[in-house]
Structure 1
Amino acid sequence: MKKSFLLGLTLMTAVGTAAAQTNLTGAGASFPFPLYSKMFAEYKKATGVDVNYQAVGSGAGQKQITERTVDFAGSDNPMSDEALKAAPAKLLHLPTAIGAVVPAYNLPGVTVPLKFTGRVLADIYLGKITTWNDKALAALNPGVTLPPLPIMVARRSDGSGTTYVFSDYLSKVSSEWKSRVGVGNSLQWPTGTGAKGNDGVAGIVKSTPGALGYVELVYARQNRLPFGSVQNRAGKFVLADNGPASAAAQGVVIPADTRVSLTNSANADAYPITSFTYVIFYQDQKYGNRTEAQAKALKALLGWMTTTGQGYNEALDYARLPANVASKARGILNTMTYGGKKL
């Protein structure tokens, strides 16, 4: 704790002396938007640095950082090797939090959290299960009176890291989903009504009796939407929360570049639809009209997000970075350069 505090203090001092009043821009995932809004507001209070982050979806964020129109991108899924090769220079991935994607629903008269398996969720999104009183759902929820309402499937219409995480999980638990739909930020959906952003999907669910949609945990809680527990690889039905989300990273080998999937974790206590959310940025910050002050400001911000800023994660329903991941994050930041010179 003391070490993290001192590191955070050092970073704050660096920002104050070398990059005060330097504004930064980011764009991408809506998944961490509630957390980033809080972080960046607190960071501005402390440093005077304004961070403008637009929640346009992970796909759009990846595109904008590749085109170098923002200082950093937010993404819930790491960029592919192919996408990284298409970038004009080396990009780095920095995890900032762990979040959970939940099946949120609007089912009048049902007052207990429903249980779902990955196979049932896949079959709903494949259009094979179409009513709430389907025998597959009834078998998972004995004693619950399920209404004969049609399931109104809600999904993302934009390029979305939340979609990537959800489809990554479904591809691991349903061979039919993997072969017919697969994994991606944007998919050829067999069914459903699309909406932009986590807030858009939450809005459909909130306003539509019988609706089911996948959203990041904080959006379900902010909109007071019921959400179900999901059976993990160990066979336990787990309701999403910070502890089960954090457990998904335990025992996972984290590569040096931190690009890894946490879905369908083997940890017996893990919630299975879980992911890191990342900030993506260039290793060498000297490009276009960027100044060294901008580069130092970005490094200081990212350092704060992965140390002092972690104190905001849990209150907003995101898990903090585990100690081993935070250590790797610091190592990644230490490789940042400006014109080849270490920042």
Structure 2
Amino acid sequence: MLKHAVLLFCALAVSATQATDITGAGSTAAAPLYTKWQQAYTKKTGNKLAYEAIGSSGGIKKIKENASDFGASDAPMSAADLKKFNLLDFPTVISGVVPFVNLPGVKDGELHLSADLIAAIYSGKIEKWNDAAIAKENPKLTLPNLRVLPLARADGSGTTFTFTDYLSRVNPEWKKQYGSNFSIAWHADVKTIKGSDDLVATLKKTMGAIGYAEYAYVVENSLNYVQLKNREGQYVRPNALSFKSALANSGWKNTGNFEEMLTDKPGPGSWPITGATYVYVPRITSQPERTAAVIQFFTWAFMEGDELANSLDYIRLPDSVQARVVHEMSSVVDAKGNRLSVPIFVK
């Protein structure tokens, strides 16, 4: 429980206010968790959150245009944009982006892939699942003579950003040809689909398909995930332990530096496509009651939402990061420069 958050916010002008409903938009990766948090929070406080899972680019666009109370993305915004649009960003949880397949005769987690193989698949260089390069990394599997159909997000996606950031770090050819971004110019063989839900639905009915999504979608939809080769040359499964390993081998825990990407971290048990989801709010708000309600919601989530996050294998932020987040949230002011009044709900 984030006791320091309670002490810090209680030091502000804390007062009882009427219920304030808020809106958020962006990350589809965070949507399963925000939905669970919202349901529990509404039951606790009576306050409601309407969240639109429209993709990270859409969420960033909305908060820049002041069309939503907060934006959510699976990649940190640049310091230049934060300054330009006068926004504050902070992470909420850690998880992983996971490749998954619809491959007959191959059980969950049996398929082993490396970054080079994934890059070759998504750049059109591998067309069949029984290709010699895939067979070499999977000598115990009988791979079908089936065409590979790579699926990717058509909308501006933080999940795509994290996925392509990983490929760019590990595969120089991918970095040169495609790079990393919320949306990229995919190879002609890649089928693009808007939203994680529709991508998952398409994969489920398409033999030979491979896609990627945040781990919560893998859990909720019982998808056939891939084991990935990490920096240490070990094949690892996506789960809370492998996400924690990547986090532990980063600067987040010791320095509170949440601008650092968590992809391709060292450690024999580290999941190589680990990442975080971020929230954006105004630093100087023209709607103090609504911004205070956003801060109240996420402070409650840090204090009481761990069990719900754990149920989807999201990882809570290290104490050093939570302390930094709470400190920065307390710096938000209204148009007159006054700190916000943020009621705190605890057990």
Aligned residue identity for 2:282: Y
1:131 aligned partner: 128
Aligned residue identity for 1:75: S
2:345 aligned partner: none
Distance in 2, matches of 1:85 and 1:336, equals: 14
Write out per-residue CA displacement over residues 82-131 of structure 1, whole angstroms, 9 at most, x where no aligned residue.
Answer: 433442x2x11111111111111001111252111011111111111111
Mapped contact 1:74–1:280 kept (Cα < 8 A): yes
1:253 aligned partner: 251
The equivalences for 1:1-343 within 5 A come to: 1=1, 4=2, 7=5, 17-87=15-85, 89=86, 91-111=87-107, 113=109, 114-190=111-187, 191-254=189-252, 258-285=258-285, 287=286, 290=287, 292-339=288-335, 340-343=337-340
Aligned residue identity for 1:183: S
SS in 2 for 1:341: coil
Mapped contact 1:11–1:303 kept (Cα < 8 A): no
Q: Which runs of 5+ in 2 are unaligned?
A: 341-347
RMSD: 2.1
Deviation at 1:275, TM superposition (A): 0.4
**Cα 1:269–1:246, aligned 2, differ >3 Å: closer, same or farther?**
same
Aligned residue identity for 1:217: Y
Deviation at 1:7, TM superposition (A): 4.8
SS in 1 for 2:25: strand
**Cα 1:112–1:33, aligned 2, differ >3 Å: closer, same or farther?**
closer
Mapped contact 2:75–2:158 kept (Cα < 8 A): yes
Mapped contact 1:15–1:296 kept (Cα < 8 A): no
SS in 2 for 1:18: coil
Write out per-residue CA displacement over residues 12-58 of structure 1, whole angstroms, 9 at most, x where no aligned residue.
Answer: 9x999533311111000000100000001111111111111100000
Distance in 1, matches of 2:13 and 2:194, equals: 35
SS in 1 for 2:225: coil
Distance in 1, matches of 2:294 and 2:207, equals: 44
**Cα 1:196–1:170, aligned 2, differ >3 Å: closer, same or farther?**
same
Bigger mean CA offset, 26-35 vs 265-274 = 265-274
Distance in 1, matches of 2:167 and 2:8, equals: 43
Mapped contact 1:96–1:321 kept (Cα < 8 A): yes
Tell me the TM-score normalized by structure 2: 0.91
Write out per-residue CA displacement over residues 167-188 of structure 1, whole angstroms, 9 at most, x where no aligned residue.
Answer: 0000011111100000100100
- Taking only the aligned residue pairs, the percentage that are identical comes to 36
SS in 1 for 2:88: strand
Aligned residue identity for 1:325: V
Distance in 1, matches of 2:77 and 2:8, equals: 31
Bigger mean CA offset, 36-45 vs 14-23 = 14-23
Mapped contact 1:11–1:300 kept (Cα < 8 A): no
**Cα 1:115–1:158, aligned 2, differ >3 Å: closer, same or farther?**
same
How many residues of Structure 1 are paired with residues of Structure 2 in the alignment? 334
